[in-house]
Chain A
């Protein structure tokens, strides 16, 4: 398998996975698959906007979704994720948020700080005189640039060139009854922020300390500590001593029955995955695959870089309880390593063989 073919096969898998996540969130109607994890919209959004540059249809569906559902996004988490991104991702995110802000007045205020930050990052980075074209075909070749009035002004503010967006119909609201979308009803109850994230963590773990919860949910630990303290005053979030430290916990049975009309005994509950870390690992893998397919390094270095990225992906999934045995071991010949990498994604994403065979 040539690196070029591997890159495209990987892109297909990642895009198929993203389509499925967004379908679960209401894009294109109901999802055919019930995800076994809780979807995390902020890292999903950032990675999707990066990768959907190769899939304009998905990109614009996400924008339409953002207009309807963006109110439930957590700006503090989005800002923290943004700080770790390349300037190219910042530009795309800036354009996308600006576009929603130009359409709905509430977003003008909600995204203000993030948009200001995006502007600063973009201005600090050297850029060409000509705005970068947003969309690319699967091989990485840029689409033709838009000219004059056909350019979208929101994206142009962030030095990105794309045609004006023509949204055919309004997106749907997130289906809140799916377990995978539990974040949304919890945010609707507690507001997007540390309280909602802490509750989600405790719903899927036996207990947790403020710092470990903060690390998992991507928020500042003092915010999480304050949120847990406030929640514990309700008597529905409890504390216990573990070693020398205080751990917070809740009655999962009562909370699940209340939130999702289900009980931990009735069905397998969705998993809490560290999506911030996982999407960062996907992004690193994709950048590597994209870079090495075009690069002039030796086959050895290309293989080694791929292995570096796969180790990060496998480590993040295994931290979330997935069997690391499926990950490609080190020292494989290049051809075998690429095949094993794709197979790993088929397993992790639960891509059925018949679907995979239709990818290309």
Chain B
């Protein structure tokens, strides 16, 4: 899906949700779809829309995030229709990265996210460039490839990388992981940051 197709699919999803007349859906989205939507990378396509959390507004606690797995049934129902209408692949919108919630997302992620309303029934919060650096560093260490390329495209500063590295090491506290983070940082020309970890 390219940027235009993502927008088209999310707009259609918003309409389908509105037609169902069910509770409003608020999503925090990361991955390629967020990169595309915010025009942060050079690559032009992504396979899916990765939902990292469901967002709701609590009268006492303000905005809170909860696991997106499973996605709400009416979101699945609406997404199936969009999948059929635009011939998208099964699971074009999915809660793949929602396990990242288990160890916590970077502090202030919701405040930095770019919010877009798709009609009255759907809000999508695309995580910011700063938070993308966190996710992409973690993914680049884990899988390399396109994630490493995305990380380079984000052109992170040393300070951003250090914060991202420290956050990612709370998700994987092993020594081999720490070593791999340092190696990647050095490859990116940030040996000083690697040394401080």
Contacts and interface: CB of A to CB of B under 8 A. Distances in A.
A301 interface: yes
Nearest to B83: A330
Contacts of B81: 304, 308
B86 interface: yes
A44 B12 CA distance: 36
A307 interface: yes
Interface string B16-42: 100100000000000000000000000
Nearest to B15: A301
B85 interface: yes
Contacts, number: 26
Interface in A293-337: 297-298, 300-301, 303-305, 307-308, 330-331
Contact of A298 (B15, B84, B86): B15
A297 B18 CA distance: 11
Contacts of A305: 19
B196 interface: no
Contact of B87 (A297, A300, A308, A330): A330
A303 B15 contact: no
B12 A331 contact: no
A331 B15 contact: no
A19 B19 CA distance: 35
A43 B5 CA distance: 43
Interface residues of B, number: 10
Interface string B73-106: 0000000010011110000000000000000000
B87 A331 contact: yes
Contact of A330 (B12, B19, B84): B84
B84 A301 contact: no
Contacts of A303: 85
Main secondary structure of the interface of B (DSSP, over half): helix
A173 B81 CA distance: 47
Given A300-B12, A304-B12, A331 B19 contact: no
Contacts of B15: 297-298, 300-301, 304
Contacts of A300: 11-12, 15, 85
Interface string B153-166: 00000000000000
A335 to B, nearest CB: 15
A337 to B, nearest CB: 10
B127 to A, nearest CB: 27
A307 B19 CA distance: 15
A300 B81 CA distance: 11
A303 B11 CA distance: 14
Interface string A317-359: 0000000000000110000000000000000000000000000
A68 B73 CA distance: 51
Nearest to B88: A331
Contacts of B86: 331
A305 B18 CA distance: 13
A310 to B, nearest CB: 11
B195 to A, nearest CB: 54
A301 B19 contact: yes
Nearest to A297: B15
A304 B16 contact: yes
Nearest to B86: A331
Contacts of A297: 15
B107 to A, nearest CB: 39
A357 B89 CA distance: 39
Interface in B32-89: 81, 84-87
B54 to A, nearest CB: 24
B94 to A, nearest CB: 20
Nearest to B82: A304
B41 to A, nearest CB: 28
B134 to A, nearest CB: 35
A329 B123 CA distance: 30
Contact of A331 (B11, B16, B84): B84
A328 to B, nearest CB: 12
Contacts of A304: 12, 15-16, 81, 85
Interface in A266-298: 297-298
A284 B11 CA distance: 25
Contacts of B12: 300, 304
Contacts of B84: 307, 330-331
A237 B84 CA distance: 46
Interface in B175-189: none
A331 B12 CA distance: 13
Q: Please list the 10 inter-chain residue pairs (A to B) with the smallest Cβ-Cβ separation, ordered nearest first.
A: A331-B87, A330-B84, A301-B15, A304-B85, A300-B12, A304-B81, A330-B85, A298-B15, A331-B85, A331-B86
20 contacts: A297-B15, A298-B15, A300-B12, A301-B15, A301-B19, A304-B12, A304-B15, A304-B16, A304-B81, A304-B85, A305-B19, A307-B84, A308-B81, A330-B84, A330-B85, A330-B87, A331-B84, A331-B85, A331-B86, A331-B87
